[in-house]
Each structure stands twice: as structure tokens, then as C-alpha cells.
Structure 1
Amino acid sequence: MELKNKAALVTGGGTGIGRATSLMLAERGAAVIVNYSRSKSEAEETVRLIKQKGGQAAAIQADVSQDEQVRSMISAAVQQFGTVDLLVNNASITRHIPMNDLEAATGEIWDDLFDVNVKGMFYCARAAASFMKRQRSGAIVNLGSIAGQTGIGSSLPYAVSKAAVHGLTKSLARALAPEIRVNCIVPGAVATRWWEGREAQMSRLAPNLPLQRISTPEDIAAMICSALEQEAMTGQIITVDSGQTL
């Protein structure tokens, strides 16, 4: 699938991997809806950067954990760009808790992480799929994490939520076929604001990288775009981690 002239929604599109993906989609000719929850200035800056290069973009606020806000966001995107062809479910949150501190993993933290990281991706996929189905084509990429494969990450609830994202990807791929493809990109350690000030912790989680480099947001964005373009692939969990889990 060519990305040119497609309408792409990127959740959490104002920062980190989301911003890199928004910019790369725009470079490939897509009109980009940059979703944000609280990062308004960052989302508007991402839109400005896209428009500065002659691209089409708009920022839309929505908390992806709230189904009604998601449906309103999709409706606003369709009103502005005609449809939603592509969805990048990037918005995620975490809490930095030692893996062995089970008492710190409160019910509230479990709910917060699952509401955004898992249910939020489902809500966005469901709302976008209704428009993709009408045109009989569409592509969705969910952002997983190697924490969901290894069980090690910023916190135990985060790792479990990402394992759920991997499962959600396979279930959606079956539920939405043949019109809509659904795949999952699984980053390892990525140099984003999540890890600012926690470089030592990141190094402990990724001590022996065969490629001897921490991934950049642009590395992950390039694979997201490739997955959106690939018409013969669905239900796949693709790891991009500089060999971290090798």
C-alpha cells in the first residue's frame, strides 16, 4: 500500500516514536492526524514541522482510554480528511516500579496501564475500523515492547500490558481480515523522554546489544511505515531491538 494521499492517525503523535512516525508518514505523502492527551504544545509543534515541509496535518486531543473521546476524535479526523486509512496505536504509559516490588503494583496502576495501553488501542482500532471497512482497505500498527516478550521492563504491570498488546494484535488481525491488516512493532530500548534521567536503568535492561546502539525513534518509525505498506502481512509481531533479545 502506498502511503501517499492516505489519512493516517498517530496516537501519542506529539513526542518520541509518535512524532518520528508522524514526520515520516508526512514525508511519504500521508495526511497526518496527530493525537495527544496532554502534550498539546508538542503535538502542535509536530503539526507545524509537517506543514513547514508542505505536508497536511492536524492535532486532535483525546484520551485514548475513553471510548467516547476516541469516537469523537475519529469523527473529527474523518470530517477533516475524508476518512482514516491508517492507524498507528502508539500512545502508551508506564510507571517505573522495581520488578520485584509487587506491593507497589497497585490496582490503580494496573487499571491505568491497561486502560491506555490495551483498551485504548482496542477503542482506536474499533472506531477506525468502521471507516476502513467501508472502503474495504486499511492498516493498523500497534506498538508493543520487548517487555511483553521477556517479562522484564519498567514495571511488572507494564510488561504484562504489552504482552496483552501482542495478543490483541493477533486477535484483531483475525477479526478485521481480509480488509484490514493489523501488525505489531516491538521496540527494545529506545532513546525517548521516558528514559531521560534513567540512562543507567536502560543500560541494565539492555547491557549487551549485538549492534552496540540504542534504537532511535526514527528506527522504529521506519519499521512502522514499512509494516503499513506491506500488503501481504498481518498478525505479525516484529521486533526492532538492535539484537537485545537475540
Structure 2
Amino acid sequence: MERQVCVVTGSSSGIGAATARLFASRGWNVVVNYSREAAPAEAVAAECRALGAEVLVVKANVAEDADCRALAAAVDAKWGRCDVLVNNAGTTKFVHVRNFDGLDAADFQRIYGVNVVGAFQMVRAFTPLLKKHPGSGVVNISSIAAATGLGSCLAYAASKGALNTLTMSLARALGPEVRVNAIAPGLVETPWLQNGMGAEKYAAGVEAYKVRSALADIILPEDIATTAWYLGVDARKTTGEVLLVDAGTKVPPP
């Protein structure tokens, strides 16, 4: 039986890497994408190959439409199919919400270019492959920041709100062949967040997050990976949804 294919953008670490590994462990071929350093992506690819998957490693900046189209062409040439696309690539700038002068138009354009425009460009590039197998899925990695207005900066929160709206619009446009959903994680344990916040602020943020969540915990990359599998593969009658994975911050302990 022909193996299915999952493409994960920004998959050299964190959520993307965990997602690639999970799909590989469940019998899928995977695409590991990176935009800067090849070595971490190759390490993830080696892990996926050890799990039995065929792996394609591709350097591409999703903010560049030509890169998105080239990535789709490479997948088409190798396997001729894409069954799940996970738009995980993202960027931000760590600026306190009250520091208006810490952001300028170029920051907004760069963040939106990856987080929103990049997701759209990837879907556009992969639509022909996704439509070849009705029931295929797109999973956009959003953030709880879209609902709370908090997060690494104002531009990041706004971009994730835009991504949620884009998810609904794409679900309408691509149905019935392709389902499009999003995941909104809470605080995720990743090097990206730890490095951005700094060790001291990150540790304090983790403890504060646990206090205000019903499950008294933070989110692991593997938690998002299993949710990406659910929305991409198992949730056959779900589209246009944003699924919150936050350990229960909406229902804090009494």
C-alpha cells in the first residue's frame, strides 16, 4: 500500500520536529523543512528514517512564494502526493506588550509574512496535491495569543488571530476535498520560547502558567503533534475549527 505523506514546515526542532517524528512512527513519509541551519533538520530526518519513513529534507522560507512552490514541486517529483500539510513555521519578536516603540511596520510585515502569508502560500502551492486525495488535511499551528492578546509581542498575537480567520476562509474555499483546521497551543516547552524569554523569565512564566491552568501543567511539543495527527488524519468531519490545547487556562482552579 502506498505510504501517505505529511509535510511539516519549520520542522527542525520543537513542535515541527515532534510532528514529523510522530507521523514517521505511524507509517508515513515526511518532509522536514528548515529555513536556516541544515544540521538540526538532518538530525530530525535521521530520527524519522530510523522509524521507517522515507524523508525529504528541503530548505525553504515560507515567506517566499517561490520557495513554497519549489517545495511543492519537490514533493510532487518524489512522491506525487501530500495527504497532510502542517503549517508550523513561525516567527516573532520578543517585545513587552506595552512597549509600542519596540515594534515597527517592518516587524509586523516580517511576522505576518511568515505566520500568515507563509501559511497561505504553502496551502496555495500544495492545493493540487492535497486535492488528489479527498479527505486530506491542513493543520495550521496558531497560538492561545490570538484569543488572549498576550504572547511574545502585539504583532505575533495579531498574526495568529489573522491565521485563525485564514483557517476558516480556507476551510470554506477548499471543501469538500480538503479539511483545514488550526491548533492554538498554550505555553509550549520549546528552545525557541526559552531562548526568546531568557531562562529566568521562562521559569517564572512556567510556574505562573501552571497556577492558572486547571491541569497545572504546560504543553509539550508531543502534545501538539498528537493533536496535529487528530486534526490531519482522524477528524474526518471537522473543518474550519481552532482547537485550544492549553491545559485548561479557560477553566482555572478555584
Query: Secondary structure in 2 aligned to 1:64?
Result: coil
Return the alpha-carbon distance in structure 1 between the equivalents of residues 26 and 123 of structure 2.
Answer: 22
- Once the two structures are TM-superposed, the CA of residue 109 in structure 1 deviates from its matched residue by 0.6
TM-superposition CA deviations, 1:161-194 (whole Å, max 9, x none): 0000100100000000000000001100000012
Letter in 1 for 2:116: V
Post-superposition Cα deviations, 1:37-74, rounded to whole Å, max 9, x if no partner, equal 01311111111001112221121010000001110011
SS at the partner of 2:76? helix
Deviations 1:218-237 (A, max 9, x none): 01100110111111110011
In structure 1, distance between residues paired with 2:31 and 2:243: 24
- Of the structure 1 ranges 45-54 and 180-189, higher mean CA displacement relative to structure 2 is found in 45-54
CA contact (8 A) 1:191 1:214 kept: yes
1:205 CA drift (Å) = 6.5
Structure-1 residue corresponding to 2:220: 216
Partner of 1:147: 145
Indicate conservation of the 8 Å contact 1:195/1:202, yes or no. Answer: no
Partner residue in 1 for 2:206: 203
- Which of 26, 29, 35 aligns to 2:27? It is 29
Contact 1:8 1:84 in 2 (8 A): yes
Deviates more, 1:14-23 or 1:202-211: 202-211
Q: Which of 48, 71, 90 is equivalent to 2:69?
A: 71
Query: Structure 2: which 5+ residue stretches go unaligned?
Result: none
Over the matched positions of the two proteins, sequence identity in percent amounts to: 36
Task: Judge conservation of contact 2:115–2:159 (CA < 8 Å) in 1.
Answer: yes
Give the C-alpha shift of residue 85 in structure 1: 1.6
Q: How does 1:76-225 map to 2 (within 5 A)?
A: 76-196=74-194, 197=199, 198-200=201-203, 202-203=205-206, 206=209, 207-225=211-229
Secondary structure at the counterpart of residue 247 of structure 2: coil
Q: One-letter code of the match for 1:175?
A: A
4+ residue runs over 3 A deviation: 134-137
Q: Distance in 2 between matches of 1:243 and 1:59?
A: 36
Alpha-carbon spacing, 1:114–1:201, altered in 2? closer, same or farther (3 Å): farther
2:242 maps to 237
SS of match in other structure, 2:110: helix
Q: Please report the TM-score for the alignment, with normalisation by the length of structure 2.
A: 0.92
Worse-matched range after superposition: 210-219 or 190-199: 190-199
Q: CA 1:14–1:88 in 2, change beyond 3 Å: closer, same or farther? A: same
Contact 2:81 2:132 in 1 (8 A): no
- Classify the secondary structure of the residue corresponding to 2:227: helix
Change (3 A) 1:127 1:146: same
Of 114-123 and 221-230, the range deviating more from structure 2? 221-230
Q: Is the 8 A contact 2:206 2:218 kept in 1?
A: no
Question: Which sections of structure 1, spanning at least 5 residues, go unmatched?
Answer: none
Match of 1:56 in 2: 54
Q: In the TM superposition, what is the alpha-carbon distance from 1:200 to its structure 2 partner?
A: 3.9
TM-score by length of structure 1 reads: 0.95
- Partner AA of 1:176 in structure 2: L
